[in-house]
Amino acid sequence: MTGFYSDPNMNGLLAALMKPARRKVFVSYHHGGDQAYYDEFSRFFHDQYEAIRDNSLERMIQSDNTEYVMQQIREKYIAGTSCTIIMIGAESHQRKYLDWEIKATLDKCHGLIGIVLPTHTKNPAGEIVVPDRFLDNCKSGYAAWAHWSELTAQSLTQLIDTAIAKPQWQIDNSRPMRQRNG
């Protein structure tokens, strides 16, 4: 007589059912300037997270209709994820699709995290330049952030857990959408 635990097929099924699912996160970044950082992020965190990216919306969604583009962002990229990670490099603050992806994330009340890349820029006051909508949510207390050099599997898990636990009343999505790249 074969028992439940002696059946190798059942053990494999049980192990698969008990294994935690990889959490899905959407990663937004400037494809022209920060692709190498996304590739490294994806490689390093592959086993822990399913990193969803937009494959450059400028090429994927061929439309001038802003509402249609926003619907596509929400439905094809943001839906099914728990948070959005914004990779903040030298030109991130000038990119309209980053702004739109942040807006779509906040529309869905998902967590919002900024990762400051080594390529970031600072303003004359010495402050890190970030996308305006992201800054609004840092000031409100909704967005979490960290520096690239501080990222570990444990720190990213803590950031994501913190970001998705933030109260929705802290969301500031009042800024008009960026209409063009800077």
pLDDT, tens digit, 9 for 90 and up, residues 36-72:
999 999 888 887 887 766 555 444 566 667 788 778 7
pLDDT at 68: 81
pLDDT, tens digit, 9 for 90 and up, residues 88-101:
999 999 998 899 99
User: How many structural domains is the chain composed of?
Assistant: 1
Q: Would residue 138 count as lying in a domain?
A: yes
In this structure, what CATH number is given to the domain that contains residue 166? 3.40.50
pLDDT at residue 13 tops 80: no
Q: What's the rounded Cα separation, in Å, for the pair 31 and 34?
A: 6
pLDDT, tens digit, 9 for 90 and up, residues 114-154:
999 999 999 999 999 999 999 999 999 999 999 999 999 89
- Using a cut of 0.85, tell me whether the model's pTM lies above it: no
Q: Would residue 147 count as lying in a domain?
A: yes
pLDDT at 15: 53
pLDDT at residue 103 tops 90: yes
Side-chain half-sphere of 136: how many Cα atoms within 13 Å? 15
Question: What end-to-end distance do the CA atoms of the chain give, in Å?
Answer: 71
Q: Would residue 74 count as lying in a domain?
A: yes
Range from 10-24, 120-134, 158-172 carrying the lowest mean pLDDT: 10-24
pLDDT, tens digit, 9 for 90 and up, residues 168-177:
999 999 999 9
Q: Would residue 1 count as lying in a domain?
A: no
SS3 sequence of the chain: CCCHHHCHHHHHHHHHHHCCCCEEEEEECCHHHHHHHHHHHHHHHCCCEEEEECCCHHHHCCCCCHHHHHHHHHHHHHCCCCEEEEEECCCHHHCHHHHHHHHHHHHCCCEEEEEECCCCCECCCCCECCCHHHHHHHHHCCCEEEEHHHCCHHHHHHHHHHHHCCCHHHCCCCCCCCCCCC
Q: Would residue 9 count as lying in a domain?
A: no
Instruction: Domain of residue 31: give its range.
Output: 26-170
User: Cβ neighbours of residue 106 under 8 Å, at least 6 residues apart?
Assistant: 112, 133, 137, 142, 171, 172, 173
Q: Would residue 164 count as lying in a domain?
A: yes
pLDDT at residue 10 tops 60: no
pLDDT at residue 2 tops 50: no
Q: Would residue 141 count as lying in a domain?
A: yes
Q: Would residue 4 count as lying in a domain?
A: no
Whether residue 111 contacts residue 157, with contact meaning beta carbons closer than 8 Å, is answered with no
